[in-house]
Structure 1
């Protein structure tokens, strides 16, 4: 089977046309992300991280697939909205705004900043305009300043149980490579070293082979709901970031560690009754705190396909092929909507659509097209070698 063609055709003939047709706000700039099954807008609020993600995606398409002016125009619409409406006076990014750009939710979430930085960096590459390189750099350095207290004054915990979360080192390991063309070499390597150390020494539990979502500040486990939390999709997505770093550094041991962690996580989190990957789990097998723990989510399965594909390119291990085939069939059998296009985001445990929306507060033009692009290009290299 020629997998590269499956992913390329899905990206260019289904996924991207859906967002081009339904998500562009031609009146106020930026993007609608709350789209029902058919692509009709059901809410006009704008979520900053999704604005950044879509602007980034269309910049990538322009830079890496084909320099179509229409794609650059779409990216520009998102970039304009970020610059004109999404930042406060200190360069922090609001979580959400009205359609017109009036701020609604304060900058409590550092991930809005991360995806704005990614968008500025890719758009700078597309246009050659230093203004956006500077914005990307400034946003990145602002993220680093906040990394030990990401929520700042919006932090709601008392500090009596101080934990650090996996999300930030995970995203930094990808963000720094996205900004490679605008950051100093030494700064990139220093950040990568820090991320690898935290991910592999603090968050990877060597006794189970699983990634913990939260650990104590010294990296030791916390026997609490938060400390036992396993988010399989997060752990697996981080492993393809590590795989990219391993390839960049020709570090075979890091690549093998990433591949083994992907396999271990899948063995732990695969639903043996109905198929698919659970959304949340407890590392000790206790009841998870999250009521949605048994849902099957689009991004979890897509990031797993990317991770397995990248691992198969560099690591000889028949377990990777076994798991790829399993996850591929589950994902392509359950998530795509053959009638109206794009992918469902939320399935129940049995694999039926729980919500028929194509976008909302959390799902936008990002995980589906990014995964299609990554798998297309990786399989192209694999198939060319064969």
Structure 2
């Protein structure tokens, strides 16, 4: 497929398929916020509202308004979610709940700091559209609260016995590398730089293990390998997603060495995580090849594949490594054949190892208006950048 055809596919998939699906079926015009539990046709099958998905959708429609076109209906959709979150989303400490009832009553405590991460991201992006100082204040206050909790993010809700096998997870330093760029316009420059450097250091010098050539999901507090279920866990999608975050940081500082390192790690993880029998990328693996504890380890998930497409395209853009383009075409073919619904809008989320649809939902407790639209946007814009770069190379060759 020619690059122009890829651009048309990703742009059209975003603007003519995925976003109209969420814009039509998701808004709760009665109580505010969004329905995310939607079947293959967009029918609501559960009305609980998961705060991190509410935040992600606020971010998504704000981002489209800011970066694609200033459509009033996109901003109105973002404000519908933001108003609901402002009213019901936080506890008395300012921490964001995990889930709410349709009407906004708390259902699940603020045990998960990722609600906070996406709240900060959402209100930071929304502020760019509205210039409402309250949106900026919520974003910044939440970010500082995240930093204050990062050493013990679950707090009283941590189920592990203290002191026996303490571990620190990859997800938070990974997300902070992306979040700090999202709200850079609201933060002091020195805080931005320290957060970036701490994130890069954690990813490349703690969680990345040269002896395996892979990124671990959990390590000991002093940065060592833990030979346990949790310590041996590899989440290929998480690790590859983090690599395009690093590539964006590399682009920001014109750090070609960092871009190359992130590209090489992407390719190594993908080679390790690719199912050579059925195709697609495994959800979880054990770094030693032992049986993982997660029973869903061999499922194929939507977000893993769309995030991989982003990293491969950005790797190709920044390094010109032809392996990235070859892998992109391979992952693209699998993704669009298996996840994109050929009869109805949006994508399926969950496949079995053989690539068959496990659940016909388009949204639920974990899947919302985020990875697919963000991925389509990122791929669209990165493909355009690749086309422009190639055009310039031809012009000046």
Normalised-by-shorter TM-score class: over 0.9
What SS class does the counterpart of residue 34 from structure 2 fall into? coil
- Give the structure 1 partner of residue 347 of structure 2: 343
**Structure 2 Cα separation of the partners of residues 80 and 209 of structure 1:** 45
- Give the structure 2 partner of residue 50 of structure 1: 53
**Structure 2 Cα separation of the partners of residues 232 and 330 of structure 1:** 16
> Following superposition of structure 1 onto structure 2, how do residues 150-161 of structure 1 map, counting pairs within 5 Å?
150-159=153-162, 160-161=164-165
- Give the structure 1 partner of residue 378 of structure 2: 374
Q: Tell me by how many angstroms 1:384 deviates.
A: 2.0
- Give the structure 2 partner of residue 173 of structure 1: 177
TM-score for the superposition, normalised by structure 2? 0.97
What SS class does the counterpart of residue 364 from structure 2 fall into? coil
- Give the structure 2 partner of residue 8 of structure 1: 11
- The one of 86, 90, 96 equivalent to 1:87 is 90
- The one of 210, 215, 220 equivalent to 1:216 is 220
**Structure 1 Cα separation of the partners of residues 345 and 125 of structure 2:** 27
Q: Tell me by how many angstroms 1:371 deviates.
A: 0.2
Q: Structure 1 residue 128 and structure 2 residue 131: aligned?
A: yes
Q: Tell me by how many angstroms 1:321 deviates.
A: 1.2
- The one of 126, 138, 143 equivalent to 2:141 is 138
**Structure 2 Cα separation of the partners of residues 379 and 316 of structure 1:** 13
Q: Tell me by how many angstroms 1:316 deviates.
A: 2.1
- Give the structure 2 partner of residue 277 of structure 1: 281
- The one of 265, 278, 296 equivalent to 1:292 is 296
**Structure 2 Cα separation of the partners of residues 209 and 7 of structure 1:** 31
Q: Structure 1 residue 257 and structure 2 residue 261: aligned?
A: yes
Q: Tell me by how many angstroms 1:4 deviates.
A: 1.5
Q: Structure 1 residue 235 and structure 2 residue 239: aligned?
A: yes
What SS class does the counterpart of residue 227 from structure 2 fall into? coil
Q: Tell me by how many angstroms 1:307 deviates.
A: 0.6
Structure 1's unaligned 5+ residue stretches are none
Shift >3 Å, 4+ stretches: none
**Structure 2 Cα separation of the partners of residues 28 and 340 of structure 1:** 27
**Structure 2 Cα separation of the partners of residues 215 and 144 of structure 1:** 19
> Following superposition of structure 1 onto structure 2, how do residues 327-342 of structure 1 map, counting pairs within 5 Å?
327-342=331-346
**Structure 2 Cα separation of the partners of residues 121 and 267 of structure 1:** 36
Q: Tell me by how many angstroms 1:351 deviates.
A: 0.5
> Following superposition of structure 1 onto structure 2, how do residues 317-328 of structure 1 map, counting pairs within 5 Å?
317-328=321-332
- Give the structure 1 partner of residue 395 of structure 2: none
- Give the structure 2 partner of residue 247 of structure 1: 251
TM-score for the superposition, normalised by structure 1? 0.99
Q: Structure 1 residue 266 and structure 2 residue 270: aligned?
A: yes
**Structure 2 Cα separation of the partners of residues 60 and 321 of structure 1:** 27
Q: Structure 1 residue 193 and structure 2 residue 202: aligned?
A: no
- The RMSD of aligned alpha carbons is 0.6
Q: Structure 1 residue 59 and structure 2 residue 44: aligned?
A: no
What SS class does the counterpart of residue 204 from structure 2 fall into? helix
**Structure 1 Cα separation of the partners of residues 12 and 259 of structure 2:** 29
Structure 2's unaligned 5+ residue stretches are 391-397
Q: Tell me by how many angstroms 1:90 deviates.
A: 1.2
**Structure 2 Cα separation of the partners of residues 80 and 129 of structure 1:** 12
**Structure 1 Cα separation of the partners of residues 247 and 278 of structure 2:** 29
**Structure 2 Cα separation of the partners of residues 322 and 282 of structure 1:** 26
Aligned length: 386
